[in-house]
């Protein structure tokens, strides 16, 4: 599926729509990967999803932190935790181990949103949805889901 958006507000609204439509995977974490060039809007998309799930604190780019975990904890939420991973600085799937990735993947309460899956492709299994964000020269973005 593909959506084309013209403004940041439309982009965020699309991320909120995605969050509401997302169906948790049974038997393990729901892993969503986000691909796209630097500045495409991967972090912006995750911020909007986090807000839709009730995260009130500011979602910062984890580029230096690599991983941030937000407790969702509300009975209204489909997930117990939102895990934001930025793999940009990782050099292979084995770099995910220190982040506790395998354990995180086993917990069906986790929604894992991972930027730069290309960097750790060898360690990724059971990807629920692959999101790609394509920026056109005029700033219009095409978001595709597969």
The pairing of strands 30-35 and 127-135 is parallel
Those residues with Cβ within 8 angstroms of residue 124's Cβ, 6 or more apart along the chain or in another chain: 31, 33, 93, 114, 117
The one segment of 29-37, 56-64, 101-109, 136-144 that binds Mg ion by CB under 5 A: 56-64
**Which region, left, alpha or beta, applies to residue 29 given φ > 0 means left and ψ of -120 to 50 means alpha?**
beta
43 binding Mg ion? (CB under 5 A):
yes
Query: What is the footprint of Mg ion within residues 91-130 (CB under 5 A)?
Result: 115
Only segment of 6-14, 16-24, 76-84, 117-125 that touches ligand ATP (CB under 6 A): 6-14
Q: Least separation, in Å, of the C-beta of 107 and Mg ion?
A: 24
Residue given tokens 């995605």 in the structure block: 18
Residue 73 CB coordination number (10 Å): 11
* Residues making contact with ligand ATP (CB under 6 A): 7-8, 11, 36, 38-44, 61, 63, 88, 115, 141
* Residues making contact with Mg ion (CB under 5 A): 42-43, 61, 115
């Amino acid at each position: 599926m593909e959506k084309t958006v013209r403004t940041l507000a439309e982009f965020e609204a699309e991320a909120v729509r995605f969050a509401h439509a997302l169906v948790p995977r049974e038997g393990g974490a729901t892993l969503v990967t986000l691909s796209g060039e630097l500045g495409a809007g991967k972090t912006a998309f995750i911020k909007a999803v986090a807000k839709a799930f009730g995260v009130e604190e500011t979602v910062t780019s984890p580029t230096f932190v690599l991983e941030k975990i937000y407790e969702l904890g509300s009975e209204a939420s489909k997930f117990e935790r939102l895990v934001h991973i930025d793999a940009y600085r990782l050099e292979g799937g084995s770099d995910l181990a220190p982040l506790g990735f395998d354990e995180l993947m086993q917990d069906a309460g986790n929604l894992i949103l991972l930027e730069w899956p290309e960097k750790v492709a060898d360690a990724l299994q059971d990807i629920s949805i692959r999101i790609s964000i394509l920026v056109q020269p005029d700033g219009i973005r095409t978001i595709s889901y597969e």
